[in-house]
Every structure is written in C-alpha cells, then in structure tokens.
A = this chain, B = another copy of it.
C-alpha cells in the first residue's frame, strides 16, 4: 500500500460551517475516485495548542493510484472551491506502507 497524509490548518476567520463543508466534500472523493482504497478524515480534537485542524489519510495500492487522486479534477475542484479560501497551512507526506 501507499499512503498519503495531509494536515491542513485553517485561517482564524474560517467558520465552523466552512470547515465542515471541506470534510463533507472530501468525503465524496472515494465515491468519485476508485483508486482510493481507504480514506479517513479526522478533525483535530483540540488537545494541543498549535495543531493543524484537519487530517486526511488516504491509502492506495501504489504510487500510480495516489497520482490519479492527486491529479484528479474532482479532487482539484474541492481544493479550489472549499479548501483554498480557508487554508492557512498545509503539511504532507507520502510513504510506502
């Protein structure tokens, strides 16, 4: 398996509705991109100062499956329409699992 992890931080003025909409829109991606084998979206629990706000952990059979996801127009539409307006930081790693 090949895993993609991304952590997103939100702007100070991002609303709860906007953040929830990001999670809802991302949650549709496994239905649109069959290369996704596992897709978990987690909202930060608020235990620690300085954390990012949202985690996405996605698993694919291989690098090629991940690249399909990375470059998929439905994925890009979510990024452009819902994430970019409220994102303040992004950290990512892809690794073999």
Contact = CB atoms under 8 A, between A and B. Distances in A.
A45 B57 contact: no
Contact of A45 (B43, B54, B91, B95): B95
Contacts of A50: 92
A52 B91 contact: yes
Nearest to A54: B93
- Decide if the interface of chain A is mainly helix, strand, loop or mixed: strand
Given A93-B54, A95-B55, A5 B3 contact: no
Contact of A52 (B67, B92, B97): B92
A21 interface: no
Nearest to A51: B92
A51 B6 CA distance: 9
10 contacts: A3-B55, A5-B5, A5-B42, A7-B7, A7-B91, A40-B97, A42-B97, A45-B94, A53-B93, A55-B95
